[in-house]
Amino acid sequence: MRLFAFELFIVSPLRNYAGTQACKAISEEGIETILINSNPATIMTDRGIADKVYLEPITEDAVTKIIEQEKPEGVLAGFGGQTGLNLAMSLDAKGIFEKNHVKLLGVNKESIHKAEDREAFKDLMEEIGEPIPPSIIATGIDECKAFATQIGYPLIIRPAYTLGGTGGGIAHNEEELIEHCKMGIEKSAIGQILVEKSIAGWKEIEYEVIRDSKDNCIIICSMENLDPAGIHTGDSIVVAPTQTLNDTQYQMLRNSALKIIRSLDIEGGCNVQFAMDPDRDEYIVIEVNPRVSRSSALASKAAGYPIAKIAAKIAIGYTLDELKNYVTEGSSACFEPALDYCVVKIPKWPFNKFRTASRKLGTQMKATGEIMAIDRNFESALLKAIASLEVEGTGLRVPYVTGLSNEKLIEKLRDCDDERIFCIAEAFRRDIATVEDVFAETKIDRWFLNKIYGIIEMERILKTSEITADIIREAESRGFVDDEIMDLTGMARDVLQDIRIYHEIYPVYKVVDTCAGEFEVMPGSLVFFSVMIYA
């Protein structure tokens, strides 16, 4: 039985994408929405998005007063990130929901507990036979020291109920262990941390999954971090769909993701993170986000599938087979999206504003934004995303990095920071490192390294070869912009433009239709991206 014509309370701090979609999706059903958000600059606080908006701090006291005043019948907390989930669990534990006859919709408290409580999650994974690394649940330093003596270093510390890896880190010795464990226990909402054997250097893979009350369950998008495990996914360059998995590996992780979301009994969106051994068909489960997360926003835009909108509909009683695909309008929302293009996300870091901050990346997220680019191949999507970062330089050539000595360049290559991809390109450019050398230092998959090496080879061709239309065509297809082609070749703009016109080398637009052209789509619902197409 569906719930219609009632008041729904949405806790959505700083979640523009998720909160706005949820408000609109629920309003379509004639349901009054009440929104609390602490940031007046977000779109979701604009008039017409929610029926009532409270610009208040996201605290227990503020939310309790609003609930007592507005008397909503349901609460959606899964669209407010980690803050929303933590707040919902706290209010439920204090009996605020029960006292005010409010129902927690979408993800339930049992699912939140099993996914967010490190001990409960570990027990569940062992129960369903999903692999996890050797670990302990700790609330004190002595437990952590004893585990380190037994297992050895390095160890990863993951606090329970935190956002963006806050309080976590990798410990390589006892001093770092004590530091990270103290901070993790302090930052955790329940004073609990997971200490586990490090799998740094493994591939990190994510699956975005959605499920309804009928147990219909689909994969929206698979994503692969260019950076290996040990770096927070929010600080990693992410590629969708996965590029380096074979079909056996892809299906193995897909089946695991479906099993996990079903065991958690989640109704709505869910993000499952895996680490994959680069040399064997072995994996472990890192964690699960039982909510619409930052990765959900990326997957939604990459696949053209409105995850937050569908999750909101599911929360009020719809099932996937009852909902339509809002892009094609001719297929079901229960149909898994197909991607016939490549998506690259690159984080945007604020180091230009905080010049004394450490640029080194780890398990605690430092990025404050991100860029997403779409194209028909990885190289072009990567260069398009880098151009959108608005860094000084062109393509993979950054003046600061190109001015480094060989010794400093190799040193920066070993230390993972926001400039490492430019250092990799420069090492290839100078012929001081091979793909195998860089793989040994970074553990970035050889597939990605070979693609970056191919970009540098294209630079060399543009610099040293007699320029023909075929070379221009190849450079354009790999994402080289006109300014870079002119810089590398010394060609004047009007000469390049004449070559383009004579050989019909023109930019066109492709569409994200969620179905790789299998169904007819409604033109008004399409997302467009530009590519170079040639006659």
C-alpha–C-alpha distance, residues 40 and 183, integer Å: 31
Q: Count other C-beta atoms under 10 Å from residue 156's C-beta.
A: 24
Q: Where in the chain is the domain with CATH 1.10.1030.10?
A: 391-503
Give the C-alpha separation, 6 to 363, whole Å.
Answer: 42
Q: What is the pLDDT of residue 534?
A: 42
Contacts for 332 with CB less than 8 Å, ≥ 6 apart: 320, 321, 323, 324, 325
**52 forms bridges with which residues in the sheet?**
34
The per-residue b/e assignment along 45-77, b for 16 or more CB within 10 angstroms, e otherwise, is beeebbeebbeeebeeeebeebbeebebbbbbb
CATH 2.120.10.80 fits 203-346, yes or no: no
**Quick check: 289 pLDDT over 80?**
yes
- Predicted pLDDT at 433: 93
**Across the chain, how many H-helices and E-strands are there?**
20, 18
Average pLDDT over residues 219-239: 92
Q: 175, exposed or middle or buried, with CB in 10 Å at 0-12, 13-18, 19+?
A: exposed
How far is 262 from 157, CA to CA, in rounded Å? 27
- Which residues, 6 or more positions from 211, have their beta carbon under 8 angstroms from its beta carbon? 217, 261, 262, 266, 267, 268, 270, 314
pLDDT of 201 above 80? yes
Q: Which residue has the higher pLDDT, 166 or 406?
A: 406
Task: Output the 3-class SS for 343-398.
Answer: EEEEEECCCCCCCCCCCECCCCCCCCEEEEEEECCHHHHHHHHHHHCCCCCECCEC
Cα maximum dimension of the chain: 78
Say if residues 165 and 108 touch (Cβ distance below 8 Å). no
74 Cβ contact list (under 8 Å, min separation 6):
3, 6, 7, 8, 9, 102, 103, 104, 105, 316
Neighbours of 284 (CB within 10 A): 20
Residue 124 confidence (pLDDT):
93
Structure confidence by residue, pLDDT tens digits, 75-124: 888 887 778 888 888 888 899 999 999 888 877 788 888 888 878 898 99
Residues 454 and 451: their CA atoms lie apart, in Å, by 5
Pairing of strands 103-105, 74-76: parallel
CATH 3.30.1490.20 residue window(s) in the chain: 134-197
Question: How many Cβ atoms sit within 10 Å of the Cβ of residue 5?
Answer: 9
Give 134-197's CATH code, choosing from 1.10.10.10, 3.30.930.10, 3.30.1490.20, 3.30.2130.30.
3.30.1490.20
Determine the Cα angle at 329 with ends 326 and 333, to 5°: 55
Nearest residue to 433 via CA among 444, 202, 1, 389? 444
Whole-number Å distance between alpha carbons of 151 and 134:
8
Q: Tell me how far apart the alpha carbons of residues 84 and 36 are, in angstroms, rounded to a whole number.
A: 10
Is the per-residue pLDDT at 529 higher than 60? no
For 208, the 3-state DSSP assignment is strand
**Cα(427)–Cα(395) distance, integer angstroms:** 15
Computed over every residue of the chain, the mean pLDDT equals: 87
Question: In the Cβ-directed half-sphere of 189, how many Cα atoms lie within 13 Å?
Answer: 18
Provide the pLDDT for residue 4.
Answer: 37
CA 203 – CA 180 distance, rounded (Å):
24
Side-chain-facing half-sphere of 405: CA atoms under 13 Å: 3
- Residue count of the chain, please give it: 535
pTM of the model: 0.86
Q: Once rounded to an integer, what is the mean pLDDT over residues 528-535? A: 49
- The CATH code for residues 7-105 is 3.40.50.20
Give the neighbor-by-neighbor strand order of the sheet with 283-289.
283-289, 268-276, 203-211, 217-225, 238-240, 342-348, 369-375
Please state the φ and ψ torsions of residue 76, each to the nearest 5 degrees. -110, 110
If we measure between CA atoms, which residue out of 439, 479, 433 comes closest to residue 458? 479
Q: Is the pLDDT of residue 363 over 70?
A: yes
Reported as a pLDDT band with limits 50, 70 and 90, residue 531 is: low
Domain with CATH 3.30.470.20 in the chain: 203-346
- Candidates 3.30.70.260, 1.10.260.40, 1.10.1030.10, 2.40.110.10; CATH matching 391-503: 1.10.1030.10
The end-to-end CA distance of the chain, in Å, is 56
Check pLDDT > 60 for residue 479: yes
